[in-house]
């Protein structure tokens, strides 16, 4: 039996409580049906309660489980509508909000990080958090020179909590590795764990943000707030007003959706070439559209270092797949480590499996929507479909882990937006190798 730290044990118990809570609510629902409520009304009520419980538990856990919830919130677009509707609002909350820590604890962290006289650095400090995420929460304040700033404060014990959660996830990953014969799981988990642990160091995040802010300084389309001061667990940067991407997803006009989607994918694809870094946390809570019509990117804890830009084989293989050369795609994927030497698969079936990666690049403009994503998701996850077995045979090389996260996450957000974007032009401009030399 594995001994867990008390905090990790409490988190495990809370996650385990989700199915038990659902079972209890199901029994309650049966009683209500007997008492006269319709099955439809009871089902809707149960799903709403379960969604609220999911937000409460994952929000309180923060750490790795909270990150899981944020990732899940991106992919609700792939869920069948009858299941997605009750969860959409609550999962979207996880993109930029969570239950806050109390002010007293937050003040203690500020004192430890900025000194006992930390209040003198601010003309005003709002104790009510403006936003919260997986490992920290953000407060709006006025710096001593009059600048409005965002103060990100890391939750106490977030490092231990995240490490424990990642260790638990690593154990689960190793347990399930035998189910996926093509996957070399150990180096992948180690890479993902290392990159996620980097997010705990706000000094490293500050360096990343400075690199982005300097490159996009004066850009007519993109704004990145400059860092004011940083410490290992507190990061102060310029405040940028704007409409969160999550709000545009909820009630934006089609024009707003198309604009946000275009700027979103352009920023994600352009930063490796322009900055040498890939912003690797694509969930909507990290992005805004400013009142003057610029796209604002926030939160630079998760990045992938790409001094040469996106890998050229990525663009080359996308172009070859677009041309239907299945044998060359298999050869290229094998060279890049996506297909292990002992794995054989049908080249044409592989092209079919890769359709959600390839299809958007076929069109000058492509409309992402929930129906398209749902159909793709159902196809590759239906064990009766031949594409399902292809997924079991593919490997994800560690160096592509964050690129894969951004590509899939980006598609999920674009489908939530229902945006029409000039995908082919953006890929031609920013993905090396897509256009022949």
pLDDT tens for 69-120 read 444 444 555 555 554 455 455 555 554 445 678 899 999 999 999 999 999 9
Yes or no: say if 4 and 164 are a contact pair by the CB < 8 Å rule. Answer: yes
- pLDDT at position 251 is 94
CA distances from 291 to 7, 134, 223, 244, 313 (A): 42, 27, 12, 11, 38
pLDDT grade, residue 237 (50/70/90)? very high
Cα(339)–Cα(345) distance, rounded to whole angstroms? Answer: 9
- pLDDT at position 328 is 97
Which two three-digit tokens encode residue 251?
A: 């009630």
Contact residues for 268 (Cβ-Cβ < 8 A; gap 6+):
278, 279, 282, 406, 410
pLDDT grade, residue 410 (50/70/90)? very high
Name the helix (H) or strand (E) containing 176: helix 158-176
DSSP letter, residue 392: H
Yes or no: say if 268 and 282 are a contact pair by the CB < 8 Å rule. Answer: yes
Please count the other Cβ atoms lying within 10 Å of the Cβ belonging to residue 8: 20
Q: Which residue has the tokens 């490159």?
A: 215
Q: Could you write out the DSSP letters of every residue in 69-108?
A: HHHHHHGGGGS-HHHHHHHHHHHHHTTT--PPPPHHHHHH
Q: Which residue has the tokens 């014990």?
A: 157
Which two three-digit tokens encode residue 310?
A: 């996106």
- pLDDT at position 175 is 53
Higher per-residue pLDDT: 14 or 229 = 229
Cα(428)–Cα(44) distance, rounded to whole angstroms? Answer: 45
Q: Tell me the average pLDDT across 46-54.
A: 50
Among residues 271, 278, 133, 283, the alpha carbon closest in space to that of 215 is found at 271
Q: Tell me the average pLDDT across 262-269.
A: 97
pLDDT at 37 over 80: no
pLDDT at 337 over 50: yes
Yes or no: say if 178 and 131 are a contact pair by the CB < 8 Å rule. Answer: no
Q: Could you write out the DSSP letters of every residue in 133-173?
A: -SSEEEEEEEETTS-EEEEEEEPTTHHHHHHHHHHHHHHHH
Radius of gyration of the chain (CA): 23
Cα(374)–Cα(382) distance, rounded to whole angstroms? Answer: 12
Max CA separation in the chain (angstroms):
71
Among residues 131, 412, 165, 100, the alpha carbon closest in space to that of 286 is found at 131
pLDDT at 185 over 80: no
Q: Note the pTM of the prediction, 2 decimals.
A: 0.77
pLDDT at 289 over 90: yes
Phi, psi of 268 (to 5 degrees): -60, -40
Cα(295)–Cα(220) distance, rounded to whole angstroms? Answer: 9
Strands 366-367 and 420-421, by their bridges, are: antiparallel
């Amino acid at each position: 039996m594995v001994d867990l730290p008390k905090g990790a044990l409490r988190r495990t118990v809370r996650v385990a409580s989700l199915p038990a809570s659902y079972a209890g609510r199901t029994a309650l629902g049966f009683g209500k049906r007997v008492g006269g409520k319709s099955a439809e009304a009871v089902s809707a009520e149960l799903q709403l309660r379960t969604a609220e419980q999911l937000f409460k538990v994952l929000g309180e856990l923060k750490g790795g489980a909270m990150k899981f919830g944020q990732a899940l919130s991106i992919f609700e677009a792939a869920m069948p509508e009858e299941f997605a509707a009750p969860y959409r609002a609550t999962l979207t909350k996880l993109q930029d909000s969570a239950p806050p820590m109390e002010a007293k604890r937050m003040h203690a962290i500020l004192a430890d990080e900025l000194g006992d006289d930390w209040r003198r650095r601010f003309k005003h400090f709002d104790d009510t958090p403006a936003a919260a995420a997986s490992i920290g929460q953000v407060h709006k304040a006025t710096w001593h020179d009059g600048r409005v700033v965002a103060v990100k404060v890391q939750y106490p014990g977030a490092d231990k909590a995240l490490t424990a959660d990642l260790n638990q996830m690593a154990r689960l990953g190793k347990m399930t590795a035998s189910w996926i014969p093509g996957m070399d799981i150990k180096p992948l988990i180690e890479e993902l764990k290392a990159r996620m642990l980097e997010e705990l160091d706000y000094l490293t995040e500050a360096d990343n943000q400075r690199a982005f802010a300097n490159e996009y300084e004066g850009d007519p389309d993109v704004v990145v707030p400059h860092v004011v001061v940083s410490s290992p667990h507190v990061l102060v940067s310029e405040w940028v007003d704007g409409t969160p991407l999550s709000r545009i997803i909820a009630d934006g006009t089609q024009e707003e959706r198309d604009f946000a989607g275009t700027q979103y994918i352009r920023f994600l694809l352009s930063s490796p070439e322009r900055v040498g870094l890939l912003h690797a946390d694509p969930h909507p809570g990290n992005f805004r559209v400013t009142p003057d019509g610029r796209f604002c990117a926030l939160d630079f804890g998760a990045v992938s270092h790409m001094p040469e830009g996106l890998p050229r084989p990525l663009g080359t293989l996308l172009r070859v797949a677009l041309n239907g050369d299945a044998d060359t795609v298999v050869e290229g994927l094998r060279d890049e480590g996506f297909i292990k030497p002992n794995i054989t698969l049908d080249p044409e079936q592989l092209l079919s499996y890769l359709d959600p990666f390839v299809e958007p690049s076929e069109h000058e403009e492509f409309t992402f929507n929930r129906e398209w994503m749902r159909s793709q998701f159902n196809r590759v996850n239906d064990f009766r479909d031949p594409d399902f077995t292809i997924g079991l045979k593919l490997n994800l090389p560690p160096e592509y882990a964050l690129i894969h996260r951004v590509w899939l996450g980006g598609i999920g957000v674009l489908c939530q937006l229902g945006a029409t974007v000039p995908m082919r032009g953006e890929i031609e401009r920013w993905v090396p190798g897509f256009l022949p030399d």
